[in-house]
Each structure stands twice: as structure tokens, then as C-alpha cells.
Amino acid sequence: MRAFLIGAATIALLAACDDGPAEATSQAPQTTRPEIAPAPNARSLPQALKDGDAQPVQVVGTYLRRIELLDDSGPKIQAVIAVNPEAVSQAQALQQAAAKGEEPGLLYGLPILVKDNIETTEMPTTAGSMALKSNMTRRDAPAIARLREADAIILGKTNLSEWANFRSSQSVSGWSAVGGLSRNPHDLTRNTCGSSSGSGAAVAAGLAWGALGTETNGSVICPSASNGIVGFKPTVGLVSRYRVVPISPSQDTIGPMATSVRDAAMILTALAGSDDNDRATEEADARRTDYVAALEGASLEGLRLGVLRWAQSDDPREQAVFEEALRRAEDAGAILVDIDAFPGEVNGGDAFTVLKAEFKASLNEYLADAAPEVETRTLTDLIAFNEANKREMALFGQDILIDSDAMPGLDDQGYLDAVAAIQKGTREDGIDRMLAEHGVDLLVAPSFGPAFKIDLVRGDVIANSAGAGWTAAIAGYPHLTIPMGNVKGLPLGFSIMGTKWDDADVLAAGHAMEQVLPPRLVPTFRNGIESDPVVNEAIKTSL
């Protein structure tokens, strides 16, 4: 039991910081849970900590209590794999340093959960796989070291789609053998999306102030949109990926997940920078900026937004939410330009070839340097381990792992041609061409459809294909999702994309857009839409 008890005074203090009904909507009233300390108001928490109106130990205690009562029991969303055993002592150390007059860092006292494919000194890094359950490297990834330098508290590790959802074509997003199945806090019968499933669900449920996810192709954006929070995928190369369990060096990146664009910008400001161990970050120090300061004065007035009509939903209810968001943007001064077709050519087979080839090479390199206790040292070893483990194979197989293991090396001409083709198709012939030919500053689209039902038989069954995040993912360009409304209590996200190193501009546009969109939907932990009284009555016989 991951218990941490706090006193009544602490609960009273943090209750005053609760997000409360300002973020709720009439379509999904909150469920009252008086036994659970309310989550601190994420938007005011940083200032409250710096002003001394809240203390790190108190804040950590509240979040740990919520993890115990919402994640381990209660609705049991299973978003958190492990709690940092040193979180409280680290919070105490920060308090003591502040009491001595030390200047607090940008993220002073803010508890952040970390996707369990990013190394931290206090906890194993498993990628959700039993094969890495003993992967206690006792190392911090550079991204984690940067968070600590900014005085953040690493609260724990979040569940993920195992191996960042690169194991099976019939996978169940949000499931890992180590962490089990994460559930969407807006509807426990719905998927969290992946692969940063636990990070998305945890932030939405108020289990931490913010979280880190990773994305190769949609793994920050989809869980953020599906759980109704803000998620940002930076330009590849802005944040170090060293000591992160990899899929694709050409597409992988760490990204912040939070309840507001400002909070995501704070995390990114701490994360961004060059790292000698990650060649992709060579330009990061020259490109990085204070992403929080860049939000000041952000406005939609005169901003030209390319509306990706070819990526919108074919569901009229979802489309109505997107159109309302566009209307609000236009009312705030944005200039909307329709883009009816994607101009580039991207072969899905080439895109998959690149991922499989890079996964084999980079995973073998990572496993060779895993903790001494890890016996699985190659992708071939991993496949054999899974075949011998009933828990690993209980829901789906590992065809992607097997196909990847058969791939040639990264000097193969077929791989080199494929990576060149897909990057040209999404960069100069794709995003850059749309921006230039239509004279727009940024591109917008729906992020994804509403969270789909959990299906343990067929795997992920996605009802529609709204969104264009694959373009930014393959190109390695920045992509932001922010909540824009909901359909029957299921959140929908609004996407903003730009070209390489446009991170600050994308975040600024998102911050301005956030001001005109409806408040974020607060989870109710309902057990299926049937729990809605109106729906429940409608499905009964009227005879």
C-alpha cells in the first residue's frame, strides 16, 4: 500500500487551492469524494509554493494520498507504476534550503510524474516489461537531472503502453505487464490512449502537478487529448533522449504534460538544452529560450492559422466542437485559411520500416547498457523472454518485435531511402510547404477523436482518423494539444503545429487559444456512459 497520511490542516490549506467547479462542465458533473484531499490548483500552485502559502512536503503528501485513494484503490485508474520512496525527504530538503534563504528554482516543490521509460535514480526503469523489472540503473536521464536542478520533485513513475506501444499490431494501449491496464479517469471503460497513458491519466486525475511523456508518433498528443489535458511534443533535438528506452532516434522526444500551456512551458524551459550524449541536441542550447516569458502578450490577433480540413473528423458532433473552437479563434482576431489536402507523399510502409530498423539498433544498444541484474540483453532475448512468460502474452503477441528483429542495420540502403523519403514528405513537401503556399504562421486541426472503448479481445479499435499528428511526428516538428471541449463527457483536443524550432510560437498560440476555449473538463471517474442518469433511463425499455 503506497500510503502517506497528512493532517487536517494540510487538507484545509490545499482545499483553498482546488480547481473546483470553474473547470467543470454541465455535461459531466463532478463526483463528490469528501474523503480525498482535493488536488491543488495546478495553475496557482507554483506561485503558492514560492510565496510560502503552500509547502513542498504538504503538496507531496496530498498528491501521494490521492494516488493511494484514486490510483491504488477507489476507481483504480492504475496510472502510477511506482512512487518515489525519497519524494518526501526530497521535499523536506527543498523546504530547508528555502528556509535558509536559497533562491527557489523554476519548478520549486512541484511534483512531477515520469513515464517509466525514462531513467531515474530511485526507481527501476521498466518500459512496462517484466524483462526490465529489475532495471535499477541508479542513473538519472539528463532530462530528469534538469528537472531536479529546477527544484522539481520526482513523485514517481507512470504506466505506459508496454515498450511505448511498439510490440504488437493488436496491442491494448495503456497496458503493460508491469503496470497492468491504465483507465481513463473521464470514463473507466475508455482507453487512455498511448503510449504515455499513465502520464495523461495521472495529470487529468490530479495525481501530480505535471508529468513527462515521450512521443515517437502520437504518444504525447493522443493521451493528452484523450484525457483532456495539455500535451506538447517539442522539436526533436530540443530535449535530450539519453537514458530513455528508445524506439526511433529520428522521431523520439520527451514532452511535458500538464493542465495548462503555462505549466507545460515551465517544464519545457527546464528540460530544453544540448547534451553531448545525444547528437540530435547539438543546436538545442542555441535554440532554447524561456518558454514561459515567451507567453507574455500572446495573442491571436492577426495570427494566420492554416486549418487542416483534410484532417478533421467525419463525426458531426466532434466537428461541431472543432468549428466552435475555430469560431472563437476568429472572434479573437485569428485569420483562418482552409487547407483541403496534404501536399506531400508519405508511404506508410516506409514510415514503419524506419521505426522497426531504428528500434532494433537503438534498443539493442540500450539493453547492452541496462542494469547488471537485467538478463535480457538483445531484442532476440526479449522475444524469447516474452514467449516464456504467460503474463506478457496474455492479451496480445509481439509481431512488431519479431519483424523488427529481422531488420537490416542502419547502413542498409532501403532504410536510408525510406527515412529520406518520409522526412522530405512531411517536412519540405508537407508542413513547410503548407505554411509557405498558404501564407500561414501555424497549422491547426483536431488532435484525435474521443477516447475509444477498451477492447481486450481485438485490441485498439479506433472509430475515426481525425488529426494530423503523424506529420509533425515524422518531421520532428513541434505539436501542441489543448482541451477544446467534449462529446458526451469525453474530452477533445485542439492541435497546433509549426515548423522546426517553432516551439515558442506554438506554445504562445496555444496559450492565447486556451484563453478563449471552454474550461478544462474535470474527470468524474464514471463507469461507462451508462452511469449517466439520462443515458441509463434511455436504454431501458419504455414498455
**DSSP letters for 139-153:** ---HHHHHHHHTT-E
Beta carbons within 8 Å of 92's beta carbon, 6+ residues apart: 56, 57
- The question of whether 133 is a catalytic residue gets the answer no
Catalytic residue among 115, 157, 356, 360: 115
Sign, CA dihedral 88-92-93-97, equals positive
Q: Residues in the chain, how many?
A: 543
CA distance 46 to 51: 9
Which regions in the chain score pLDDT beneath 70?
A: 1-37
Helices 379-387, 348-368: crossing angle, 10 deg rounding: 90
Could you say which of 129, 196, 199, 219 is catalytic? 219
User: Which amino acid, residue 166?
Assistant: F
Report d(CA 325, CA 309) in Å as an integer. 14
Q: How do 335-339 and 304-308 pair as beta strands?
A: parallel
Contact 489, 275 (CB under 8 A): no
pLDDT digits (tens, 9 = 90+) for 20-78: 323 333 233 334 444 566 888 888 999 999 999 999 999 999 999 999 999 999 999 99
CA distances from 381 to 131, 213, 247, 360, 530 (A): 9, 26, 17, 12, 45
Class of domain 76-340+427-534: alpha beta
User: Is the Cβ–Cβ distance between 502 and 235 less than 8 Å?
Assistant: yes
Report d(CA 230, CA 16) in Å as an integer: 23
Domain with CATH 3.90.1300.10 in the chain: 76-340+427-534
Catalytic site includes residue 390: no
What is the per-residue pLDDT for 470?
Answer: 98
**What is the per-residue pLDDT across 483-511, written as a single tens digit (0 to 9) for each?**
999 999 999 999 999 999 999 999 999 99
The pLDDT, as a whole number, for residue 170 is 97
Say what the pLDDT of residue 35 is: 59
Kindly report whether the peptide bond that precedes residue 299 is cis, defined as omega within 30 degrees of 0: no
**176 counts as catalytic:** no
> What DSSP string describes 210-226?
EEEEEESSSTTHHHHHH
pLDDT recorded at residue 543: 78
What sign has the CA pseudo-torsion 260, 261, 266, 271? positive
Give pLDDT tens digits for 188-197. Answer: 999 999 999 9
Work out the mean pLDDT of the chain and round it to a whole number: 93
Nearest to 233 by CA among 541, 502, 512: 502
Nearest one of 500, 456, 463, 464 to 479, comparing CA atoms: 500
Query: DSSP assignment, residue 102?
Result: P
161, 168, 171, 195: which one is catalytic?
195
